[in-house]
Amino acid sequence: MDIMKMTWKELEALPKEKTILFLTFAPIEEHSHHLPLGVDLFLGETWKKLAMDIIRKKEPGYTLLTMPPIPFARGSVKGFPGNLHVKQRTVYRVACELIGKIAGWGIKNIVVIASHGDPKHIIAIEEACEKINRKYGVCAISPMGSFFSFDELGIDLNFPEQVKQQLEKYPNDYHAGWIETSAMLDIDPGLVKNNYSDLPDIKIGEKELMFPKKVNKKIAGYGHIGFPGLATKELGELLNINSAEFICKATLAFVSRKDYKIYQHHSLYKIPFLRTNFLRVFLAVSGLIIIAVLVFLKIAG
């Protein structure tokens, strides 16, 4: 059910404990020469719809709601027209307000599909879910952080053998490479330019991602990280179904409130300086310490 087509009375009448609302939160941004700006939104919306189809079959007793996606995110790629990136704090504040409003409707199960791999984007939404859960009781989860960091968290995504082999042979395919290009070939091949097979491989290691200036220099003029020429529609179908099955598994664990905590956070969530308010808190605490030291010195003097 699309909430845009419902009246407020229909929304009010829903059995809130048996209702799940899905919301995609991802940006419009460049995806090299061959993919459209809306890739992350296309992926999130596709995974959402596929996951909802699976849930309908497994748990037909739930009412499934959807709403329009939120088309911006935190990002560090620069130098390309089309990027709709905002500050991490903006993502956090908007997510807090939107998820809070939905929780205020009485919805007990809110699942945010953050289909954009930037850790700070994902962490901001996870922080927002934590805040809303403290205020309204557990009602919101953003499971994609655990999806993108499955290996570090020890989550088995049950990749098909063909995908496993490709991941082992061509890892670090982070942006508009064979993974996203394959997924888009499955979603709508008409949106993928035919030149994808002619684009060069751009190899960037995991540690290099910590240095945005270096990344931006390497991808200048192109915009992808990985191996777009290796993409196939067959791989895309496997990847999209796998992503949807993960979302279904995480969602059903959450609505049952059983074994869902492993899906709550990206593996990097525990690193303080990646949090939204880290700098503000650090500066505030540092300021208090300085003031305390000055007062002490004045009294001692």
| Contacts (Cβ under 8 Å, ≥6 apart) of 212 | 76, 77, 78
pLDDT value of position 294: 54
Answer for the pair 260, 141: CB distance below 8 angstroms, yes or no: yes
Query: What is the CATH topology of the domain spanning 3-156+239-270?
Result: Rossmann fold (3.40.50)
The 3-class secondary structure across 86-150, one letter per residue, is ECHHHHHHHHHHHHHHHHHCCCCCEEEECCCCCHHHHHHHHHHHHHHHHHHCCCEECCHHHHHCH
So what's the pLDDT on residue 102? 97
Question: Which ranges of the chain would DSSP assign to H, the alpha helix?
Answer: 8-13, 39-58, 88-104, 119-136, 144-148, 150-153, 161-169, 178-187, 212-219, 233-255, 278-300
Find out whether 225 and 58 touch, Cβ atoms under 8 Å: no
Please give the backbone phi and psi of residue 295, each rounded to the nearest 5 degrees, phi first: -65, -45
Number of CB atoms found within 10 A of residue 179's CB: 24
- Joined together, the tokens standing for residue 132 give 């809303």
**What are the φ/ψ torsions at residue 25 (nearest 5 degrees)?**
-135, 95
Long-range interactions of 106-109: CB distance < 8 A, separation 24+:
106/12, 106/16, 107/16, 107/19, 107/21, 107/65, 107/139, 108/16, 108/17, 108/19, 108/139, 109/17, 109/19, 109/20, 109/21, 109/139, 109/251, 109/254, 109/255
Q: Which residues contact 267 (CB under 8 A, 6 or more apart)?
A: 145, 146, 149, 152, 153
At residue 209, the pLDDT reads 86
**pLDDT by 10-residue block (mean), the chain, 301 residues:** 96 96 97 98 98 96 96 93 96 97 97 96 98 97 97 95 96 96 98 96 90 93 97 98 98 97 96 79 49 60 65
Task: Please name the amino acid found at residue 23.
Answer: L
Secondary structure of residue 211 in the 3-state scheme = coil
Q: The tokens of 19 are what?
A: 């209702």
For residues 63-72, one letter each, b for 16 or more C-beta atoms within 10 angstroms of the residue's C-beta and e for the rest, the string is: ebbbeebbbb
DSSP character at residue 208: G
Write the burial class of residue 150 (CB in 10 Å: 0-12 exposed, 13-18 middle, 19+ buried).
Answer: middle
Domain extents in the chain: 3-156+239-270
User: How much is the pLDDT for 210?
Assistant: 84
Q: Is residue 20 helix, strand or coil?
A: strand
Q: Determine the pLDDT at residue 4.
A: 96
Looking at the DSSP bridge assignments, the partners of residue 112 are: 23
